[in-house]
Amino acid sequence: MKLRALVLPCLLFAGLFAPAANAQRQGTVEFGAYVRKNWFGESYGLHQVAGAGARLGFFPIRHVELEADAVFTPTHTTAYFDKVNVMRFAGMLTFHMPIGEHSAFILGGGGVYNRYKLRENGLDQAGNAKPSIDVGHEFGPGALAGFRFGLGDVVSIRLDGTLDRFGKPAPELTENIDKDWHYGFQAGLAFLFGNRGESFRGGAADADKDGVMDTADQCPNTPRGTQVNSSGCPLTAANPDAAADSLRMRMRADSMAA
């Protein structure tokens, strides 16, 4: 219940920024690794422990990412301490709403598949450890709300809260209930590739802040405050259009700032 109470305010707060949000560049690929804290449904009788996960994502269009996640969580039953390995697979469609240059709120939804493998304590008749057995699987809808804090153009910290609902939980672990909920909190690093030449908020980037976009800037590392021409290079006395170029650049910079 605590996590559900946190997810709703995140959804409402993030929605306030949607009208002004720009997009992540089309074609960007995301790789991520994270730690996930799980809160399994009470009827499952499993200890609430942490697992490790990985993410692969792709932006087919601005704002929108297709994500595939896989998480492995080794836990055990609360009654007999039998070991249970939980594998969670999720496919999500997420919407990214940039805040600042490299950060964004994230909202999404999709499908979740869980698989459970049980290994009982003790030895079999031959004196060997008892093998793992498949004790059930389940599929249901899932939702995600999160935040990405960019450390640069490529690396970012990502924090996500998830909510999964299962209409027919694994019967071997539950008491044939009609539905149950799983919650999760994920924290880790994400690496974005393919977004060079464009800021996180969308549109062309201007790394040296001279008023000329990087895609057209022939002098990309101009010192801050230097007057430049339309190619992004410092003005010289040999340039007959220096005054006109300087005026155009100042007007362009003023319009962008406004």
Domain count, the chain: 2
- Asked if residue 169 and residue 78 are part of one domain, the reply reads yes
- Provide the CA 172 distance to its chain's centre, in angstroms: 33
| Residues paired with residue 76 on neighbouring β-strands, in sequence order | 83
Q: Let me know if residue 200 belongs to a domain.
A: no
Please give the span between the terminal C-alpha atoms of the chain, in angstroms, as a whole number: 44
pLDDT of residue 126: 65
- Asked if residue 233 and residue 111 are part of one domain, the reply reads no
Q: Angle at CA 113, nearest 5°, toward 154 and 158?
A: 20
- Asked if residue 127 and residue 25 are part of one domain, the reply reads yes
- Asked if residue 107 and residue 225 are part of one domain, the reply reads no
- Asked if residue 88 and residue 35 are part of one domain, the reply reads yes
pLDDT of residue 210: 73
Instruction: Tell me the HSE value of 50 on the side-chain side, using a 13 A CA sphere.
Output: 9
Q: Print the domain residue range for 222.
A: 206-258
Residues found in the chain: 258
Q: Let me know if residue 198 belongs to a domain.
A: no
Residue 80 token pair: 């007999």
pLDDT of residue 103: 85
Q: Which residues of the chain, if any, have pLDDT below 50?
A: 1-3, 6-23, 196-197, 237-238, 240
- Asked if residue 248 and residue 210 are part of one domain, the reply reads yes
- Asked if residue 227 and residue 134 are part of one domain, the reply reads no
Contact 201, 98 (CB under 8 A): yes
Residue 200 token pair: 């996180």
- Asked if residue 42 and residue 167 are part of one domain, the reply reads yes
- Asked if residue 147 and residue 36 are part of one domain, the reply reads yes
Measured CA to CA, the distance from residue 47 to residue 62 in angstroms comes to: 40
pLDDT of residue 16: 38
DSSP track, the chain: -HHHHHHHHHHHHHHTTGGG---PPTT-EEEEEEEEEEE--GGG-B---EEEEEEEEEEEETTEEEEEEEEEEEEEBTTT--EEEEEEEEEEEEEEEEETTTEEEEEEEEEEEEEEEEE-SSB-TTSSBPPPEEEEEEEEEEEEEEEEEESSSSEEEEEEEEEEEESS--TTTSSS-S-EEEEEEEEEEEEEES-TTB-TTSSB--TT-SSS-TTT-SSTTPPTT--B-TTSPBP-TT-TTHHHHHHHHHHHHHHHH-
Contact 151, 182 (CB under 8 A): no
Q: Let me know if residue 177 belongs to a domain.
A: yes
- Asked if residue 124 and residue 40 are part of one domain, the reply reads yes
